Structures are given as structure tokens and as C-alpha cells.
Structure 1
Amino acid sequence: MAEYEITTAGIREMARFLEWAAEEQWNPGKMDHLPFHAADPRGFLLGKLDEDPVTSISAVRYGADFGFIGFYIARPPFRGQGYGIQAWRAAMQHLNGRRVGLDGVVDQQDSYRKSGFRTAWTHMRYAGVPAGEVPSGDVTVTDAGSVPFGTLASYDRRFFPARRDAFLSLWVGTPGHTALVALQDGELKGFGVVRPAESGARVGPLYADSDDIALALLNSLAAAQQGVPLAMDVPDVNVPAIRLMERLGLEPTFECARMYTGDAPAIDMAGLFAATTIELG
């Protein structure tokens, strides 16, 4: 009998998670393993069959009462044999007692509902090179390092269910990541990050107090990529965000449902123009 074992993945093994995610067309960032691992070093589980890696899943703990499931993958030859569900149970045990979120692809959403998850909204991935459009307001866009980290972390908390300082500090500082803030009268009004991905570049998060501020940030993030196509996961309940994507000529290419156990968390949906990642929330 083959022996199946679920182990905690180290940072070197995280490269395998990104490789498998790319094969599933999820298009992860090229350097995501560094901040991802910092979010919860014990939150990445690798299933091995006779030492051969066959499943992956992440179960990242944030704060005292929130967690997020991602990277739920069984290698194609090993699907339908019970290995994936064993990894799922181990991940959910790691998050026991917490509200749990995930982004579910269309063909898995019914399975997640049977596990107690409910859809809060749908993320629509928009992709392309944004058309030039000039913001109407007076907005200053500058490097995120120009504001105190505590201020940035508090702003991030408006749009995310828990503090995630360890993750955020690396997300804005990882080589290749461009992190920008928008200021009006010296006050923080927006925040965005763009990073190289397996295909093009990914924007996330994109927070803004108005669609005009989101536009200013997106223009600067696009300029940093010098014509490389961008992709971002936009909540469909933020109608101004969807309209902005359409105005800029970006095309919907992928969708997944943001789902939670229990009620959706109370976050600033009006200012959430694009999620950070579909892997870690």
C-alpha cells in the first residue's frame, strides 16, 4: 500500500505551490512565496504519496479568528482518490474555530457550499493594458514607503478581515513589487501593489476612497510595468470598480466566488477595487 502523508511545506517547497497554481491558469506572482510564507509559516500543507508530492493546500491564519484557504490542488493523475479531501480536512483543522474564507473556482463552488461556505460576492478578473484616462481630482501618487508602516497597516485593515502585518511588510517590499499610495492633503486615500506574474503582471490590492483615486493609482501602477498587460480580481458588488475596468478597456477573463463560513466580514467594500490575491485573500 502506498503511504500518503501530509506535511508542513517550507519556503523552498513553496515554489511547487506556485508552479502547480500556474498550471491551473491561476497566474500567481513570481515572488509570491516569500510574503505568503511569512503570513503563516505553518499554513502550507504538502501531501506526499510515497514521498512524491501530489497535493497542496494553504490554510493561513490571520489574527485570532480569521483564516483563508488557497492552493487547493491535487495533481491530475491523483484526483478522485481521496488524497485531496484528506488535505482539505487537515487544512480546516488548522483553522478550527475561525471564520474561514476562500476564492472558489466555478466547478468547485457546490462542494464548498456542502462544507458550509456561502458566497459573498464574485471576483471578476479583468486583464489588459489600461487605456489612458486622466483623473479629474488632485491626487498625489507616491511610493508606499513614504508613509509610516503603521498607517499603511491600519488602512489595509479597513479592507481585510484581520491585521496581517508580517505579510504586508513583505508584500510592499519584495523585489519586483511596486507599492504605491495615493495622498490628498497629506492624508492616505488609496493603496495599490503590482507584481510580475507568470503571465503579465498582477495588481492587488487596489484600495481607494473613490474611483478617481483608483484611476490615479492604476495609471501609475501600469506605468511602472511599461506596457505589460495587467490583471486584477475585482469584486462584482463594487459597481464603480467594474465600470472603471470597462472604461479602461480591460476584459473579463476569469471568475471565482469569494466564500466564507458564516457571515461575510464587515469590510469597506466600496473602497475595495481589487483583491490582494485569490490564494491568501
Structure 2
Amino acid sequence: MTGFEITGASAADMEMIRGWADEEGWNPGDTDRFAFAVADPEGFLVGRLDGEPVACVSAVRYGEGFGFIGFYIALPAFRGQGYGIRLWHAAMERLDGRLIGLDGVVEQQDNYRRSGFRRAWNNVRHEGVPQGAGEDAGAGVDVVDAAALPFGQLAAYDRRFFPEARDAFLSAWTALPGRTALAAVRGGRIEGIGVIRPCSGASRIGPLYAATPGVAATLLRRLAEHAPGGLVSVDVPDANPHGIALFEGLGMVPTFETARMYTGPAPEVELAGIYGVTSLELG
């Protein structure tokens, strides 16, 4: 394996890797890479063979005790030659001592189990144009621009659904160009948050948090107004007993599935309020 080295990702690498993910059919957001840089500036690793990039992985640190692995890709011509596994070990070493999460595609889940990961739930991507009247948020709920709320209130709400505080990341994720972030508010209290971002395929919504299915449906419809043709996709955890039923009732169809896996016990978050995870690459 002469000539193989692992380096941090440059800005040009980040753009290239986004293209690799598109080729894998993952449909990441057009500007997600900028939120990566805010979350953990050194969280992307690239494997280079004789100077040329052949593999990548993200190993993003959150707070003091959590990390998330994503964007684990080796170019097809270089698979099965040991480059990817060396990069994997480097990512795991970077997150050593933390609870580590990832979203594993079906064909890789056995490999992740051998590395100590265990399934917590499945995330099922639902795609389509939300149809029908369905449930709504009910009386007294206002849907507002999330930027109009005190950021501390927004961050405290996000913390209920994520293992660590991630204020800097959240600030970038909700405000990057081309995105819309909405909050459902009742009596001054946040009852839901949703963010939509442009992608090369269907616009992605994530996170989507809500106190009730009606609040989730209301946010989903309002966010879909910002998508070309209303076409959106949401990665829905099946651990939320109301999530899958809500999206199926709105005429959206499952198109892709991963397993959320952790190296230890799943973190204690309010799963019943998660109708869409932030992203399969960032957790």
C-alpha cells in the first residue's frame, strides 16, 4: 500500500466529496459541507494514493462525549484493496473514548456490527409531494421564521433531540443560503422546528421535530412550499411510533433505508418528537 496517506480535507476536497456522495445516490444538501466546517473543522479525512483522493470519511466531534461517522466512501476502482479500512480506523481513532453513531446502509451493517456498532432504529427516507389535508397543528400555533426566535430558545429545544449541545452547528445549519428554517410556536413555547435545504434531487427536510403529528404535518407542508414542485424527502426514524404513519398518510413513499447504530447504549433523546433526523451524515 505504498503511497497511501490520510490527510485532512481541503475546501476543494469537500466539494469533490459532495459529488461522490451524489454518485452514491445519497443526495446530500448543496451546502451541508459548510455546516461540517462549523461543527468540527477537522472532521473530514481523505485517503490519497500517490496524492490522488481515493476515499473519504467524516468523523465529527460534538461536545465532549459524542461523535458521528458519515460520508464513508471509497471510489469503486479502489474498493477491496484495504484503503477504506485504513481510513475507517483513522476515523474511529479520532473519535476514541466517545459514544459514536452512524447511519449504515443495508449492505454494510454486518461490517459495522463487527466494529462494535449495534442497531438502535431504522431511518426510512420518505419522498414525495405531501398530499391531502390530514392533521394540522391545532388552534393557537403560529409558524414563524426560526431566525425570529431567541437563539438560546432554539438551541435548548434542539438539545432535547440530540445527544450533545451543538449551538455553532445549529446556527450555521439553519441559516446557510438557500435554506428555510421554520418553528411552530404556541403561547411563546416552541412546539416544533423544521429546516429545508436544496439538493441535487428532492429537497431534504431535516431536522423535523414536533410535539404532535399535527405540528409535524403543518411544518412539513409549509416547508414543502419552498421546494421546487413541492417535492421533498425526509429521513424518518421508525422508533417514533407516529412518524412512518404520518408520512404514508400524506402520500409520501419509502425510497431508502439505513440503520442508526451506536457503539454503546443509544443516547437518551426524545424519539417521539423526531419526525426527521438532521441528516444521515451528521446525525
Q: Do Structure 1 and Structure 2 share a fold, with TM-score over 0.5?
A: yes
Counterpart residue number, 2:258: 256
Q: Does 1:100 align with 2:107?
A: no
The residue identity in structure 2 corresponding to 1:94 is: R
What is the CA distance between 1:226 and its match in structure 2?
Answer: 4.8
RMSD over aligned CA atoms reads 1.1
3-state SS, counterpart of residue 68 of structure 1:
strand
The one of 231, 240, 243 aligned to 2:242:
240
Q: Does 1:75 align with 2:75?
A: yes
Q: Deviations over 1:128-185 (max 9, x none)?
A: 0001325150221110011111111111010011111111111111001100000011
Q: Does 1:214 align with 2:200?
A: no
Counterpart residue number, 1:24: 24
Counterpart residue number, 2:37: 37
1:134-213 to 2 correspondences below 5 Å: 135=136, 137-138=138-139, 139-213=141-215
Distance in 2 separating the partners of 1:79 and 1:170: 34
Distance in 1 separating the partners of 2:233 and 2:181: 16
Q: Deviations over 1:90-133 (max 9, x none)?
A: 00011010000000000000000000000000000000000132
Counterpart residue number, 2:125: 125
Distance in 1 separating the partners of 2:17 and 2:164: 24
- CA, structure 1 residues 185+210, in 2 after alignment: closer, same or farther (shift >3 Å)? same
What is the CA distance between 1:250 and its match in structure 2?
Answer: 0.1
Note if contact 1:123-1:255 (Cα within 8 Å) is conserved in structure 2: yes
Note if contact 1:11-1:33 (Cα within 8 Å) is conserved in structure 2: no
3-state SS, counterpart of residue 227 of structure 1:
helix
Moved more, 34-43 or 93-102: 34-43
Note if contact 2:237-2:275 (Cα within 8 Å) is conserved in structure 1: yes
Runs of 4 or more above 2 Å deviation? none
3-state SS, counterpart of residue 11 of structure 2:
coil
The residue identity in structure 1 corresponding to 2:169 is: F
Note if contact 1:140-1:184 (Cα within 8 Å) is conserved in structure 2: yes
The residue identity in structure 2 corresponding to 1:20 is: W
The residue identity in structure 2 corresponding to 1:260 is: Y
Q: Deviations over 1:181-220 (max 9, x none)?
A: 0001121110000001110200000000111110111111
What is the CA distance between 1:13 and its match in structure 2?
Answer: 1.8
Moved more, 217-226 or 82-91: 217-226
Distance in 2 separating the partners of 1:93 and 1:172: 30
- Which ranges of structure 1 fall in alignment gaps of 5 or more residues? none
Task: Give the TM-score normalised by the residue count of structure 1.
Answer: 0.98
Q: Deviations over 1:206-260 (max 9, x none)?
A: 0001111101111110112252310010001112111110110000000000000
The residue identity in structure 2 corresponding to 1:210 is: T
- CA, structure 1 residues 224+22, in 2 after alignment: closer, same or farther (shift >3 Å)? same
Distance in 1 separating the partners of 2:11 and 2:247: 35
Note if contact 1:47-1:53 (Cα within 8 Å) is conserved in structure 2: yes
The residue identity in structure 1 corresponding to 2:262 is: Y
1:53-64 to 2 correspondences below 5 Å: 53-64=53-64
The residue identity in structure 2 corresponding to 1:41 is: P
What is the CA distance between 1:49 and its match in structure 2?
Answer: 0.2
Distance in 1 separating the partners of 2:229 and 2:62: 35
Note if contact 1:43-1:58 (Cα within 8 Å) is conserved in structure 2: yes
Moved more, 129-138 or 26-35: 129-138
Distance in 2 separating the partners of 1:136 and 1:262: 36
Counterpart residue number, 2:90: 90
- Which ranges of structure 2 fall in alignment gaps of 5 or more residues? none
The residue identity in structure 2 corresponding to 1:6 is: I
The residue identity in structure 1 corresponding to 2:28 is: P
